[in-house]
Amino acid sequence: MDLKGRSFLTLKDFTAEEIEYLIDLAGELKRKKKQGILGTSLKGKNIALLFEKPSTRTRCAFTVGCVDEGAHPEYLGKDDLQLGHKESVEDTARVLGRMFDGIEFRGFKHETVEKLAKYSNVPVWNGLTDEYHPTQILADFLTMKEHFGYLKGLNFVYLGDGRNNMANSLMIGAAKLGINFSIIAPETLWPTGDLTELCKEYAKESGSNITITEDIEQVKGADVLYTDVWCSMGEEDKAAERIAILKPYQINKELMDKTDKDSTIFLHCLPAVKGNEVTEEVFESDKSLVFDEAENRMHTIKAVMVATLGE
């Protein structure tokens, strides 16, 4: 499948077949790495890593992915960038596009990563914006495929802040790949109606269901329970209010038992605030695959770079 020259900004831009291809390519690159076989697909390439927001997994995944495939990664933190301050995003994009072969951006406005893609003339990869986190979804789905052996038809339940970048991106990815997807959250934290309707259209095509509800009993039958921090970066002032309204949506042993399945797994994009969105007991249990999932960030990010830029 030819994805050369494409940017990776949101899963809305990719077909089910293309998303599955990236997941399978990541699995193949992971197997090779475990055997000590590294690639040369990005040899001679220079990659700019732009970070307005700090990161552990995203930065490390892009850096190791680049090096494994022969590229040079150049980290540019918020103090190294003039994005939209001294220099417009459009001008920064045109400068970086002449010096680098690919650009990763992790920051606030989704509009910034869209402008970088429009003006740089090189592939641009979204390492996270306020609206979407597509590389994380690939890692989540690779983890699920490794564990269950398939994706289509699985029952996936997301609990907590249902309108953040993770809930948005998981809903898009699940709907496209035929995974039954539920958000269980207080109504004030539901995703936008526009996005929900769009995902219901995707789900109609793939044969899956989208459910948005406040009812925690709806975890029954779930194969995957997923959560994220209750306050995203930049929302720390809302912590007390969020904890109060989201406490009933905490993933704990009692909630895991409500699925009525021994095979249910727990996933989290990390970092986790144990005691808030998930208990230590569940996080450290054998149902928790969060560290497989964290490792898979690197394999899936590598796959995205190889597919869109590699030789």
The residues, any chain, with a CB within 8 Å of residue 195's CB and separated by 6 or more, are 168, 171, 172
Note the helical H segments in 132-286: 134-148, 165-177, 193-206, 239-246, 253-257, 280-283
Residue 297 is labelled as binding a ligand: yes
Residue 300 is labelled as binding a ligand: no
59 a catalytic residue: no
Q: What share of residues in the chain are helix, strand, coil (percent, to 5)?
A: 50, 15, 35
297 a catalytic residue: yes
What span, in angstroms and rounded, lies between the C-alpha atoms of 258 and 273?
22
Residue 56 is labelled as binding a ligand: yes
Residue 218 is labelled as binding a ligand: no
Marked catalytic residue, from 66, 199, 231, 269: 269
Residue 270 is labelled as binding a ligand: yes
Marked catalytic residue, from 6, 59, 110, 133: 133
Give the tokens for residue 229.
Answer: 């921090």
Give the tokens for residue 162.
Answer: 């249902």
31 a catalytic residue: no
Residue 286 is labelled as binding a ligand: no
The CA radius of gyration of the chain, in Å to the nearest whole number, is 19
Residue 250 is labelled as binding a ligand: no
163 a catalytic residue: no
Marked catalytic residue, from 6, 106, 110, 299: 106
Residue 58 is labelled as binding a ligand: yes
| Residue 56: strand, helix, or coil | coil
86 C-beta neighbours (distance < 10 Å), count = 9
Residues written for the chain: 311
Residue 94 is labelled as binding a ligand: no
Marked catalytic residue, from 59, 66, 110, 136: 136
Residue 269 is labelled as binding a ligand: yes
Check: CB of residue 154 under 8 Å from CB of residue 144. Answer: yes
Marked catalytic residue, from 228, 242, 250, 299: 228
269 a catalytic residue: yes
Residue 165 is labelled as binding a ligand: yes
What span, in angstroms and rounded, lies between the C-alpha atoms of 109 and 230?
20
How far, rounded to the nearest angstrom, does the alpha carbon of residue 190 sit from its chain's CA centroid? 18
228 a catalytic residue: yes
What span, in angstroms and rounded, lies between the C-alpha atoms of 294 and 270?
8
- The annotated binding site for L-ornithine is made up of 165, 228, 232-233
- The annotated binding site for carbamoyl phosphate is made up of 55-58, 82, 106, 133-136, 269-270, 297
User: Which residues are designated catalytic?
Assistant: 106, 133, 136, 228, 269, 297
